[in-house]
Amino acid sequence: MFIIDAHLDLSMNAMEWNRDLRQPILAINEREQGLTDKPDRGHATVCLPELREGNIGLVVATQIARFVAPDNPLPGWNSPEQAWAQTQAQLAWYRAMEAAGEMVQITDLQSLKDHLAMWNDGASTAQKPVGYILSLEGADSLVSLEHVEIAWNYGLRAIGPAHYGPGRYANGTDATGKMGQAGIDLLKKMESLGMILDATHLCDDAFWQAMEHFNGHVWASHNNCRELVPHNRQFSDEQLKELIRRGAVIGAAFDAWMIVPDWQRQVSTPESMNCNMDRIIDHIDHICQLAGNALHVGIGSDLDGAFGTEQCPYDVTTISDLQKMETLLEVRGYSEEDVENIMHGNWLKFLRKVLSRQS
């Protein structure tokens, strides 16, 4: 089945993890044997060949670069300008992949139609370019509102204002507090351009403030349920209901600590915590029960988002294993139409609605 994955940090893996994503996953992991600079070395799951193998023909691919103030212990860049420069290096990688025929950027309704027709023409996907929609995870790198328009012109179509900790425009995971005027102005600029607001990572204060001030299209690219795994990174039922009311789609994330409760980083293992893809269905089902239908949930795996097989479901060896979701959903009683919606249909309906207004 055709799959859309709404959150992959491809350029971060290429530029900061130094992974050549054109290579087979075995080659990528073999090259990382003995490296200790990143926690997930040798455990990668994502590469372009495995996306093709899994019939994952369209992804939301990110740029990401955090600004950190002197008192911020998180890793990041010491000025917004440096963070912007890092996102431009990431953009250059996407452009290089396009030039090599490995990827193709989707920016409007026509490019979406053309890509879907090409990908689903019945021919082998082995040499086909993977389609990508560009998203910015955390807005710290936007030096000014003028940079939002620059980014729009090079194809950026979604922004998540926050990531982890305090941000220049909004506070994110593990932080609290409302947005200041800069955050409100960012939302208004995004709305005027027709950009998608990615609510993922917004702290509770900023989430509700954004819902009040932003009247455009909203999604949550990679987010699970607080009711099942208590943590401020997850959305409460009240937040999920608000997103459903706004017509959002919520992407199920594959990071183990978000899937099962009581995960201890660098201690727990997927096997010891019984963390498998069926546990992700629990989160998908929870959202479907809140909505009363299967029209507001999809996949936003975040695989290789600074974690690999050491911290994802044990039945995921590579991202191509997303195909297993079809059978798991069927076993849970989801109809063929429901399964198609979750695997790709809900994201496509959302994108067609957004991109038709931009054309």
Q: What is the pLDDT of residues 26-76, one digit of tens each?
A: 999 999 999 999 989 999 999 999 999 999 999 999 999 999 999 999 999
The answer to whether 38 and 17 have CB atoms below 8 angstroms apart is: yes
The torsion defined by the Cα of 316, 319, 324 and 326, in degrees rounded to 10, comes to 140
Distance CA 120, CA 282 (A): 30
Q: Which domain holds residue 85?
A: 3-358
| Residue 356 pLDDT level (bands cut at 50, 70, 90) | confident
Q: How many CA atoms lie within 13 A of 3 on its CB side?
A: 23
| Residue 358 pLDDT level (bands cut at 50, 70, 90) | low
Q: What is the pLDDT of residues 221-265, one digit of tens each?
A: 999 999 999 999 999 999 999 999 999 999 999 999 999 999 998
Rounded to an integer, the average pLDDT of 97-113 is 98
Kindly tell me if the per-residue pLDDT of 357 is higher than 90: no
Domain count, the chain: 1
The answer to whether 28 and 319 have CB atoms below 8 angstroms apart is: no
CA R_g for the chain: 19
Tokens 């300008």 found at: 81
The answer to whether 276 and 327 have CB atoms below 8 angstroms apart is: no
Element of type H or E holding 218 = strand 218-219
Q: What is the pLDDT of residue 354?
A: 96
Q: What is the pLDDT of residue 266?
A: 87
Which pTM was predicted? 0.97
Rounded to an integer, the average pLDDT of 318-324 is 98
Q: What is the pLDDT of residues 147-195, one digit of tens each?
A: 999 999 999 999 999 999 999 999 999 999 999 999 999 999 999 999 9
CA 135 to mean position of chain CA atoms: 8
Q: What are the Cα distances from residue 91, in Å, to 2, 9, 51?
A: 26, 12, 20
CATH of the domain at 34: 3.20.20.140
How would you classify the pairing of strands 103-105 and 130-137?
A: parallel
Tell me the one-letter amino acid at 259.
I
